[in-house]
């Protein structure tokens, strides 16, 4: 069965990711390597490589593969870069970043999801990812600054603490911002004290709940 999963994963990368214009070879290689089916519940495992988000329990979802690829490419990070993820969920996005050689800190608000993701990541060989439980809208100051910050839940605005934790030497934050149901994906780039924002398209994420969220 492992070969069948590999074939499905390669097809996913070709038809859903490359076909829509994602080009970063490091991102494509990571999506081809990380066993997405190991990050979703048994009941939806056969759909793991389909072109859609999937439920992961607790009312949360693992993002559509293309959205993960798009956000990861927009981050523009590579081997050795320190990256913060807000919204660990299943741990899949964190595993993609770890596979790319990034030093990953990920924060999840739901204790059960955080615990399950930490165990799953360790079991799959991504034990170097640091999983923290808490309100990620406050970032994770202990490991700051970050070259990349990726928020995988939608909020009303970019939280100030996340901007502050971007590396002044050059860093990017990617986050869905907008209403509770529909958001725009924003890319915020920091150079020194200058911030510039780019719009990357519409999206739908579960709500970012916390002090600087909903």
Binding site for ligand SAH (CB under 6 A): 56, 60-63, 86-87, 89-90, 92-93, 107-110, 113, 135-137, 152-153, 206, 208-210, 213
Closer residue to ligand SAH (CB): 41 or 202 = 41
Phi-psi region of 120 (alpha: psi -120 to 50; beta: other; left: phi over 0): alpha
Q: How far is the CB of 44 from ligand SAH (least distance, A)?
A: 13
Q: At what angle do helices 25-33 and 92-99 cross, to 10 degrees?
A: 120
In the set 46, 63, 193, 196, the catalytic residue is 63
* Count of C-beta atoms within a 10 Å radius of residue 170: 12
CA-based nearest residue to 172, from 81, 76, 104:
76
Closer residue to ligand SAH (CB): 196 or 204 = 204
Closer residue to ligand SAH (CB): 166 or 208 = 208
The reply to whether 90 belongs to the active site is no
CA angle at 199 for the pair 56 and 66, rounded to the nearest 5°: 35
Q: How far is the CB of 194 from ligand SAH (least distance, A)?
A: 27
Q: Would you name the residues annotated as active-site residues?
A: 63
């Amino acid at each position: 069965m492992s070969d069948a999963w590999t074939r499905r994963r390669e097809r996913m990368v070709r038809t859903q990711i490359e076909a829509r214009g994602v080009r970063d070879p490091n991102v494509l290689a990571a999506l081809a390597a990380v066993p997405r089916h190991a990050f979703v519940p048994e009941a939806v495992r056969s759909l793991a490589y389909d072109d859609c988000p999937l439920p992961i329990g607790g009312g949360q979802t693992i993002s559509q593969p293309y959205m993960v690829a798009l956000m990861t490419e927009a981050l523009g990070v590579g081997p050795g870069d320190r990256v913060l993820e807000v919204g660990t969920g299943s741990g899949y996005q964190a595993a993609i970043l770890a596979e790319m050689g990034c030093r990953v800190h990920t924060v999840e608000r739901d204790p059960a999801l955080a615990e399950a993701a930490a165990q799953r990541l360790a079991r799959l060989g991504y034990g170097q990812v640091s999983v923290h439980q808490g309100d990620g809208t406050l970032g994770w100051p202990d490991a700051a600054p970050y070259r990349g910050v990726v928020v995988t839940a939608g909020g009303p605005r970019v939280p100030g603490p996340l901007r502050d934790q971007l590396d002044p030497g050059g860093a990017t934050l990617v986050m869905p911002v907008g209403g509770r149901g529909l958001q725009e994906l924003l890319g915020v780039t920091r150079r020194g004290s200058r911030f510039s924002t780019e719009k990357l398209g519409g999206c739908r994420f579960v709500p970012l709940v916390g002090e600087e969220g909903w």
